[in-house]
Amino acid sequence: MSITANNLLANTQVLDESAVLTAIESSLAMIEFDAHGKVLWANYNFAKTMEYQVSEMPNLLHKQFCTDDFAKSREYDEFWRNLRKGKSFQEKIQRVTKLGRLIWLEATYSPVLDLNGKVVGVVKIATDITKRENNTIQVASHLHQMANVLHSRAEQGIKKSDEIATATKILVNESKENFEILESLQIQATSIEEIVKTIRGIASQTNLLALNAAIEAARAGEHGRGFNVVATEVRKLADRVQESVQEVNSHIEGITGEIKRISEGTLRSQLGITNSQKLIEQALQEFTEIGIAASELDFQSKAFKDLL
């Protein structure tokens, strides 16, 4: 080996193994188990995390740190079988402290092998992530509650919009029926106007005939006097008919004007109701989309919880 290579090796600094282990032990929670899950040793950080004294840890069983459901499950037996086969395990796990408090750990289980490759123990290194997980659970729960409230309000909005839409539809139909009735009245008023015009024409003709009869009666002298009286009465009757026709015509014009005003107002109302119906349909669509968004938010919050 050259002098340069020797000098390089001499200047290379290698971290002391015991110093590295001391550094890890001071910052992380560590525990050792035998191959059957009995505690051999635990450092201060692990004991504190699990709310034990360090002196209490040896000879405890791993399952004492687990929930009852997990400790009695097939997954738990499979977990230790894999460790005894030399398979490492790294996962976020839930454990139970001495005081019965549930905590979350980010843990790594590493099997320890002897010279023959046989598993003689398991070293576990863990970090307490309870605060982080609780915050995450709270966020997920809050999202779920928000989704439920949003979905509930969307459903209420849809229900109210449906009710308003139904009521508006009835108003639209009634407005159309009223409009048709007004059109029918307008047609009838027009017909009456035509009848009045006919009566007025007949009255005019009657008046003219009465006038001609009076002239002829005057020419007839004494013989036409009785006929003249009749002609005069007929002329008076024709005049009264003319006056009555004029009065009726005045009323018809007033009724026709009112019908026109009501018809125009009904048409405006109908247009307003139709526009309102369109706005309600748009609002209903918005509420439906809010409901879909709420369902999606609820799905995402549940999926988020499942990842915890």
Q: What is the pLDDT of residue 36?
A: 94
Smallest CA-to-CA distance from 38 within 62, 67, 64, 54 is with 62
By the 10 Å C-beta count (0-12 exposed, 13-18 middle, 19+ buried), 49 is classed as buried
Domain endpoint, select from 107, 128, 149: 128
β-pair partners for 109: 89, 124
Judged against a pLDDT cut of 70, whether residue 21 lies above it is answered with no
Q: Higher-confidence residue: 73 or 202?
A: 73
What domain range includes position 180?
137-307
**Are 76 and 221 part of one and the same domain?**
no
Total domains in the chain come to: 2
Judged against a pLDDT cut of 60, whether residue 305 lies above it is answered with no
The CATH code of the domain that includes 44 is 3.30.450.20
- Among the residue ranges 64-68, 122-126, 179-183, 300-304, the one predicted with the least confidence is 300-304
* Tokens (6 digits) for 283: 């609002």
Q: Report if pTM > 0.85.
A: no
Q: What is the pLDDT of residue 98?
A: 96
By the 10 Å C-beta count (0-12 exposed, 13-18 middle, 19+ buried), 84 is classed as middle
Averaged pLDDT score across all residues of the chain:
77
Q: What percent of the chain has pLDDT over 90?
A: 33
* Tokens (6 digits) for 79: 């977990």
Helix (H) or strand (E) holding 92: strand 89-96
pLDDT band, very low/low/confident/very high, at 1 (cuts 50, 70, 90):
very low
**Are 72 and 170 part of one and the same domain?**
no
Cβ-proximal residues to 232 (8 Å cutoff; 6+ apart), any chain: 210, 214
Q: What percent of the chain has pLDDT over 70?
A: 63
Judged against a pLDDT cut of 50, whether residue 3 lies above it is answered with no
Q: What is the pLDDT of residue 9?
A: 46
**Are 27 and 86 part of one and the same domain?**
yes
**Are 13 and 123 part of one and the same domain?**
yes
* Backbone torsion region of residue 221, taken as left when φ is above 0, otherwise alpha when ψ lies between -120 and 50, otherwise beta: left
**Are 16 and 93 part of one and the same domain?**
yes
**Are 256 and 143 part of one and the same domain?**
yes
Q: What is the pLDDT of residue 2?
A: 42
Task: Give me the sheet containing 89-96, strands edge to edge.
Answer: 39-42, 29-34, 119-128, 102-113, 89-96
Q: What is the pLDDT of residue 123?
A: 96
**Are 120 and 51 part of one and the same domain?**
yes
**Are 210 and 123 part of one and the same domain?**
no
Domain endpoint, select from 128, 147, 164: 128
**Are 109 and 27 part of one and the same domain?**
yes
pLDDT band, very low/low/confident/very high, at 78 (cuts 50, 70, 90):
very high
Q: Tens of pLDDT along 236-284?
A: 776 777 777 777 777 677 777 777 777 676 667 667 667 766 767 776 6
* Backbone torsion region of residue 103, taken as left when φ is above 0, otherwise alpha when ψ lies between -120 and 50, otherwise beta: beta
Q: What is the pLDDT of residue 76?
A: 97
The CATH code of the domain that includes 259 is 1.10.287.950
Q: What is the pLDDT of residue 298?
A: 65
Q: What is the pLDDT of residue 148?
A: 74
Q: What is the pLDDT of residue 170?
A: 74
Q: Tens of pLDDT along 28-57?
A: 899 999 999 999 999 999 999 999 999 999
**Are 295 and 150 part of one and the same domain?**
yes
Domain endpoint, select from 106, 128, 150: 128
Smallest CA-to-CA distance from 279 within 145, 191, 161 is with 161
**Are 95 and 182 part of one and the same domain?**
no
**Are 164 and 301 part of one and the same domain?**
yes
- CA dihedral of residues 249, 253, 255, 259 (deg, nearest 10): 150
